[in-house]
Structures are given as structure tokens and as C-alpha cells.
Structure 1
């Protein structure tokens, strides 16, 4: 049964109202409509057409006239039986602008706006003006604005997760790379959930950071708050995007499958960044330590390869892992050794060509054991081999994927266990990363 404030309607494939109930039927009749006629409420009719044309559920805020008053609604359009089912709730007077959420410090200021934009809860652009072409409506925000920089993604997703405003966020128009600054207020649906953004933008001076500028240190509180604020919302974003991409609730158009995959990929990238920042905060504390315990490095290597088997299969890369039954006793912390090898093998898969192979080789030498991860990628120039282990160090910052923290964290963890991570490579001949660990617990002397 629908909540008391919810009204419904059914619209056929031609946009003709089949039936309506509740307050929706009353307002539609007052506007000159009725059963057997086109819906007389243009914003809701437009949403129904869009949902029917795309073949997907669409939910977003809508404003309609109710006598002399504008009313804000939450409208959900669901394709059904060749037509559309409409569910309408909310029914509150429409303010000139969404009010700040109670208790929120609202930095939103539209005084200097050069364009305005709105999105729905799925981060699709629903309104645009100024230099934002109307043709962009329906596109994901990540297609309208270039938010690839991590510092730009965090405020947007954090604001969505916490139903807050954000202001003066750097981004670029994806169409022409012009620098912009974005601000927005979160909108809420009738149940208090996130319903999208009402935003503004202005063009900004394109100032690149000084090459010598160093990233600010991340404190423990920052990492903990970031983890709490983003992990669960990001997991939900990934789950919903994967569901759309897999067409679990019914077929959708091919471009929306692509959008869903883009959203899931961006969210997974950000989850990886959150993990890395939490690790970075931990390993740079003075009291950081690892557990000293016996482990089987061969088993850890097989497990790491198994965790990456789906990614490797999708990339058409073969992982040649240690044989079952092969052992390599070592001293270290199991989960940290696994973390290092997932990073090294994941990098090798990423940089390997299709139909390529990644080799995992075990070795013993004196009081140390090692596993080498070798790929068939393009290799790393000698002058770049030290830099890739620096914090935020990347050979090509424009290359998609990665954030310059994985190898830095891997080496710090290995050295905390009394081992190391090293690289050998030549351009055009792939790269070989080697994790070494001690076999004697008394030899563990963290850096």
C-alpha cells in the first residue's frame, strides 16, 4: 500500500492518461486533463516520456502549479506494460531555493553564478543553463564535468553521502576543458534521502600548481573521517551501478550500461584511494608496526593471484602462479604481504598487453626469500625507477588508473617487515618487481 501522501497514475505508450488517483487526479483535472487525454502536467508528462523512451526508472524532484501556488514534488517514473507508472509524493510548497539542512554550515552562494545546473539522485544532469548545453541533460555529471582529480571527486561524493552543500569545488567542463568552480545544495526527497543537487558554477582562472609543491600530510582524524564518510556510500554506488550495468532489473539502453560502468569504475577508484589514504595515515605514524609471524609466501602469492583472476581474465592476461603444493616459508604479516602482492600483480595485469602473461617466480637466497612479479608491458626507464616509489610518484600523471601511493605503501610495508620491494626494468622489455622477506624473525629490523 502506498503512503497516504503518495498519488499514482498510469500513462499509455502514447502519453495518454489511463487512470490517476488522489491529489494528482485533482490537480490534473484542474489543469484541464482527465482520463483518456494527455497528462496536463508538462513536467510530469516529460518525465514519463523520458522514462518510457530510455526504458529505465527515473526519479527526480519536479515543480508544478497547484492553483496560485508552486508545489515541489518527488516523482518516480517506472516503465510498465508499454507505458509508464507514475508515483508522486512530497507535496510541499516550493521555496525559491532549497533551504540548508538543519545544523549545516551552508557555504552555497549563487551571487556570482555564471551558469546553473541540477542533478537527480543518480548524478544525472536534469537542468542546465548558460554555457551548459541543453543537449547535456541526461548525461552523468562525470561526463559533463571532468572530476578526475581526486580532490574534486571527494567533495562531490561526500556531499551526496552526507546530504550537505559544497562550494568552490574545482573541475573542468568536459566539452572544452575550461576550468570552473562548482557549488551546490543537496536536495532531499520526501523520506529525507538524497534527491540530487541544485547547483551553480562560475569560470575560474586556470592556475596549475607549482611542480615543487608537496601534498599535504594526512592526519589520522582526516583518514578516519574520510573512511567513515565515503566507504558505505561508495559501496552502494558500486552495487547500484553494477546492478544497472548487469541489467538486473530489466534491459536498458547500451549507453546507460556504459554510464553505469563508468560510475562503478570511478567509485572503485575512489574506494582504492580511500584505502590508500587510510594505509598512508597508518604507516606514517611513529608507533606503526606489523605482526611478526610465520607465513607461506607461496600460498600468499597464489591467493593474491586468485583475487585478481577476474580482472586478468577481463584484460585477457594470463597469470602464471606457483604450483599447488609449492611452499616458501617466510616471516612477515599475512595480510600485509597479501596487500603488497595484490598491488604488484594488479599493476602487472594493468600494464600487460592483451594475450600477455604475468609470471610469478619464487626464490630463496640465504636468510631471505622472494617473489618476483614479471610482466610484458612497456617497461620503466631507469631514471623513473626510483621515482615510482615516491609518495604520489607516477611516471605519467595523465595515465588513467593509480594515484601514486600503491608502490610507496608497498615498499614501506615490506621494509616494516624487514624486507623490501625493488624493480628491474628496461623500456620495451617489461618490468620485474620483487618482494623480499626474511626467514629469521630475529632479522626483522624495520626501517
Structure 2
């Protein structure tokens, strides 16, 4: 065996990828992996290359890894098809067999996996300020509808004021570590819930706020609420399909992240990359579903916002805080309005934040690495304005009139965008009595201006 030295074991498979003969130590590993002899190859990495060699009719040689109890097995294998493509089995030669203790994931890796899974299966997510006050909240679970309404009507209120924590007897302020993983009782919901708090900001965790996730301990009861009480007379994508699709897609993402991070055991790099692609595709699909749901909401004849007095500059600073990690990953510097800048405006806080997150997120995506994205906020007469300025390629003159069209993606391809973000953002701005406009020249970046009615 070239590159492997002495042959330690030989084996054979048939045309159905069943292991029909095997020497030790492969025979023992086959059984410990849950397979039989004869039986389908039970070592995943070996099965994959056996199938590839048989289908292509080509000899394949490489190192494989497999879990064997508390040990990791590494071996060099050569797979030699014994017939024409797909018509026969394969001869297997094994060399360089070695075992090492299975690596224990670090505390950081374990925590990252826990958060990734909770984020994927959570039925409520919210952004909190550094004092755990509610900034935005989103949920499609029918038994959380009343909770969401209360949170949205009282922005800035600690999230713990809206739920019961039966295992804790504490007073504000509550340190976030005490409520991370706490059992929650939500008024109006028959299900139990567990809270996950993800601290944002470095080097002091929580300095940029928190992400709150609520994970249910059981599926929604089929009888809650009665279908006639919660479904409209005509089919509704947002109300019917979004909750149905979110959970299975979220679980696909969570499982793919588990595989990608190798926390379930060693895995060749190519399979880890496959899992990363699956997770990314799942995230794109989930984003598209959320956009389509938002589209249905803003195009409804009875759509209304809940305007209140807000500080537009403060909302801009919060948007920058939320997107800070994403910007740093691309080497982009975000420059929000200064802390002393105050711009009173009239608008619905969470909708204004949604618009600015979309504008700043687009700017990060379009700007070259190392660029600067500035957010300016000011009062001009009776209007409050927030301007997002990027150093990206700009928008060609022949496309600028189509920027806010439905499904317009500005020529992007393959990035998973739906082309609905700017359309939805403008609809939201106009629903609040304002507008969203753009000024750009090709090669000179873009300036997106959000206008809202001012406030005294």
C-alpha cells in the first residue's frame, strides 16, 4: 500500500455496499459501530468512499477517521472496485491503523453548540439592552402572542417582568448568569419554557446587550387555540406556513451545526464543509420565509403601526451594536451617531430598528472589506432623519429607480437574499408617516435616508 506500509487487514463488499468479509480489527469496529457481518458498512467514513469508488469504478485511497467508544480510530484505506461501475463490490486494504483518546470538546465549544441549538429551536427571540430591557421581540407561537404584545407595548422593561421564574426569588437587577437556563412560566401558555441569555459585547459580556431565547419543553398542543379562533378565512403564508416551516428548518440548521463543529466526533474536513453549506442554506431559507411573512403583513389592508416617541439616534446606535460582530468579521468599521446626539421622532420602535438593521446590514454586505459605514442622525424642520452611508460600489443610474421594487436584488446572485428587505423597509417607513429614499452614484457608495415625523 503506497503511503501506508504493511497491509494490516483485508475486507470485501458486494454491489450493495455490504461488508461480506473482514479481518480484524475492521470486523470488530464494524460490530461496535452497530453493524453486522455480513451487513452494510457501518463505519460512515468508510461507507462513503466505498460508494464513491464503486460508482466511479476508480481506485480510491485515503485516511479515514471513526469513533470507537472513547477512542478515535485513524486508518489508511485503499478501495479497489472489482467490477464495472456499480456492478460489483470492492476489495478493501487497510494499513496504518492507530487509536487515540477521543478529544473532549472545550467549554467554549460546548457552550457555542448549546447556544446554536437553542437559537435554532427557540420559539421566541428578543434583543435586550445591557439592563435586560426589551428592545425587540419576535415569535410566531400562538401561545406566546399575548407575551409578545405586552413586551412590544413596554419597550425597555426588563424581560423578567413579563414571565414567572418559579425556581428563583430575586429582585431587580438580576445578573444574567442567574437567569440563563432558568425555567420560565409564561402566562397564557400551557407549556414550560427555558430561557437562554446570550451576552453581546466584548470584553465585558453583556455590555452591548443580550439575546433572549425561549425554548419550549413540548410541542404546541394541537387544541391551542381553536383553529377558527386563530386562522383567517383565506390561506395565509405568514400565519399558517411560517410556524410550520420554522421548526423543521431550525432543526436542520442545528443538526448541521453540530456536525460542522465536530462536537459529535471527528469528521473529515470535506464533510464538515458540507455541513456548513447545509447550515448556511438553511439560514438563507429561514430568512426568506421570514421575509415572505413580513411581506404579507405589510401588504395587508389593515396593517397599522403603533407609533410612539422614540430617539432615532438611540435606535441607530442599537442597530450598530447588534450588527457589530458581523461588521468586525468583514473588517468593516461602523460609525454610529455620537452618544450626545438626540433626535426625537415618532415611530414604532421595533419597526424603526428593523429598517435600520436592514440598511446597515446591506451596507456591511456591499461595502468592501475594511470600509467604513456611517450612520448620521439629525432633525430637519418637522422631520427626523437617519442616513446610512456606505463605501460600496454604489447603484448604477439605470437601477436606482428599481431599488425598492419587490424581489429586486441589485444584481446580486447566490447570496441568499430575497430582494424584499428594502421593499418592506419602505412600506414600514411610509406606514409610520415617513419615507425611505436613496441617493447614489456608481462607484461612490450609497446614502439611504430614513425620514420620520419629528416629536416635540
In the superposition, the TM-score normalised over structure 1's length comes to 0.53
Most deviating of 399-408 and 284-293:
399-408
Unaligned 5+ segments in structure 2 are: 1-21, 51-65, 75-84, 87-233
Contact 1:220-1:282 at 8 Å conserved across structures: no
Contact 1:13-1:83 at 8 Å conserved across structures: no
2:374 is the counterpart of 1:359: yes
Pick from 333, 346, 357 the counterpart of residue 361 of structure 2: 346
Which residue of 1 is the match for residue 238 of structure 2? 223
Pick from 40, 44, 60 the counterpart of residue 41 of structure 2: 44
Pick from 393, 411, 425 the counterpart of residue 440 of structure 2: 425
Separation (CA, whole Å) in 1 of partners of 2:266 and 2:43 = 21
Which residue of 2 is the match for residue 313 of structure 1? 328
Give the secondary-structure state (helix, strand or coil) at the position aligned to 1:400: coil
Structure 1 segment 186-335 matched on structure 2, within 5 A = 221-335=236-350
Separation (CA, whole Å) in 2 of partners of 1:18 and 1:222 = 49
Q: Deviations over 1:334-357 (max 9, x none)?
A: 010010001000000000101111
Give the secondary-structure state (helix, strand or coil) at the position aligned to 2:392: coil
2:48 is the counterpart of 1:17: no
Which residue of 2 is the match for residue 143 of structure 1? none
Unaligned 5+ segments in structure 1 are: 1-10, 29-38, 54-76, 85-128, 131-218, 442-447
Distance 1:404 1:47, change over 3 A: closer
Separation (CA, whole Å) in 2 of partners of 1:397 and 1:48 = 37
Contact 2:30-2:42 at 8 Å conserved across structures: no
Separation (CA, whole Å) in 1 of partners of 2:68 and 2:446 = 51
Separation (CA, whole Å) in 2 of partners of 1:50 and 1:79 = 16
Contact 2:30-2:41 at 8 Å conserved across structures: no
Separation (CA, whole Å) in 2 of partners of 1:220 and 1:349 = 36
Distance 1:315 1:13, change over 3 A: farther
Q: Please state how far the C-alpha of 1:246 moved relative to its aligned partner.
A: 2.7
Contact 1:13-1:82 at 8 Å conserved across structures: no
Distance 1:418 1:243, change over 3 A: same
Give the secondary-structure state (helix, strand or coil) at the position aligned to 1:386: helix
2:391 is the counterpart of 1:373: no
In the superposition, the TM-score normalised over structure 2's length comes to 0.52
Give the secondary-structure state (helix, strand or coil) at the position aligned to 2:429: helix
Separation (CA, whole Å) in 1 of partners of 2:439 and 2:414 = 21
Q: Please state how far the C-alpha of 1:301 moved relative to its aligned partner.
A: 0.8
Q: Please state how far the C-alpha of 1:78 moved relative to its aligned partner.
A: 4.9
Q: Deviations over 1:18-57 (max 9, x none)?
A: 6959xx89xx5xxxxxxxxxx322x13464734899xxxx
Contact 1:378-1:429 at 8 Å conserved across structures: yes
Q: Deviations over 1:158-212 (max 9, x none)?
A: xxxxxxxxxxxxxxxxxxxxxxxxxxxxxxxxxxxxxxxxxxxxxxxxxxxxxxx
Contact 1:364-1:370 at 8 Å conserved across structures: yes
Structure 1 segment 140-219 matched on structure 2, within 5 A = none
Alignment RMSD: 3.0
Distance 1:275 1:47, change over 3 A: closer
User: Highest relative contact order (Cα 8 Å, sep 6+), 1 or 2?
Assistant: 2
Give the secondary-structure state (helix, strand or coil) at the position aligned to 2:292: helix
Q: Deviations over 1:243-268 (max 9, x none)?
A: 33333334422222322221121111
Contact 2:344-2:455 at 8 Å conserved across structures: no
